[in-house]
Structure 1
Amino acid sequence: MYIPALALFSVFILYPFIKGIQISFTNWDGYSQEYGWVQVDNYIRMFKDPIIGNTIKNTFIYGIGSTFFQNLVGLMYALLLNQSIRMRGLTRTIIYLPVIISPLIMGYIWYFFFQYNGGALNDIILLFANEPINLLANDKINVWLITFVNTYQYLGIAMVIFLAGLQTIPKDYYEAAQIDGATKFSQFIHVTWPLLAPSVTINIVLNLIGGFKLFDVVVSLTGGGPGYASASLSTLMYQLYFARQDAGYAAALGNLMFVIISIISIGSLYFLRRKEVTS
Structure 2
Amino acid sequence: MYIPALVLFVIFIFFPFVEGIKISYTNWDGYNQDYSWVQWDNYRRMFSDPQILNVIQNTFIYGIGSTVLQNLMGLLYALLLNQSFRSKGITRTIIYLPVIISPLIMGYIWYFIFQYYGGALNDIILLFRDEPVNLLASPEINVWLITLVNTYQYLGIAMIIYLAGLQVIPKDYYEAAQIDGASKFSQFLHVTWPLLAPSVTINIVLNLIGGLKLFDVITSLTGGGPGYASASLSTLMYQLYFARQDAGYAAALGNLMFVIISVISITSLYLLRRKEVAH
- Which of structure 1's runs of 4+ aligned residues deviate more than 3 A? none
Matches within 5 A, 1:237-256: 237-256=237-256
Q: How does 1:15-94 map to 2 (within 5 A)?
A: 15-94=15-94
Once the two structures are aligned, what percentage of the paired residues are identical?
Answer: 82
Cα distance per residue 1:214-254 (max 9 Å; x no partner): 00000000000000000000000000000000000000000
Which amino acid counterpart does residue 154 of structure 1 have in structure 2? Y
TM score, norm. by length of structure 2: 0.99
Deviations 1:160-209 (A, max 9, x none): 00000000100000000000000000000000000000000000000000
Unaligned 5+ residue runs, structure 2? none
Contact preservation (8 Å) 1:195, 1:278: no
Residue 277 of structure 1 deviates from its aligned partner by: 5.0
What is the distance in 1 between the residues matched to 2:120 and 2:47? 41
* C-alpha RMSD of matched pairs (Å): 0.8
Matches within 5 A, 1:1-279: 1-277=1-277
Cα distance in structure 2, aligned partners of 1:34 and 1:197: 52
C-alpha displacement of 1:31: 0.1
Equivalent residue of 1:276, what SS?
helix
Secondary structure of 1:37's aligned partner: coil
Structure 2 CA distance for partners of 1:278 and 1:86, relative to 1, 3 Å? farther
Displacement of 1:86 in angstroms is 1.3
Letter in structure 2 aligned against 1:198: P
Q: Distance in 1 between matches of 2:3 and 2:179?
A: 56
The aligned amino acid for 1:98 is P
The structural deviation recorded for 1:85 is 1.2
Distance in 1 (alpha carbons) for counterparts of 2:255 and 2:277 = 35
**Structure 1: distance between partners of 2:208 and 2:117:** 34
Q: For residue 241 of structure 2, what is the amino acid of its counterpart?
A: Y
What do the CA deviations read for 1:51-76 (whole angstroms, capped 9, x no partner)? 10000000000000000000000000
SS at match of 1:274: helix
Any conservation in 2 of the 1:29–1:246 contact (CA below 8 Å)? yes
Task: Tell me the distance in 2 between the aligned counterparts of 1:187 and 1:45.
Answer: 54
Could you say what secondary structure the match of 2:259 adopts? helix
Q: Provide the rounded CA distance (Å) in 1 between the counterparts of 2:267 and 2:110.
A: 33
CA contact (8 A) 1:96 1:156 kept: yes
Unpaired runs of at least 5, structure 1: none
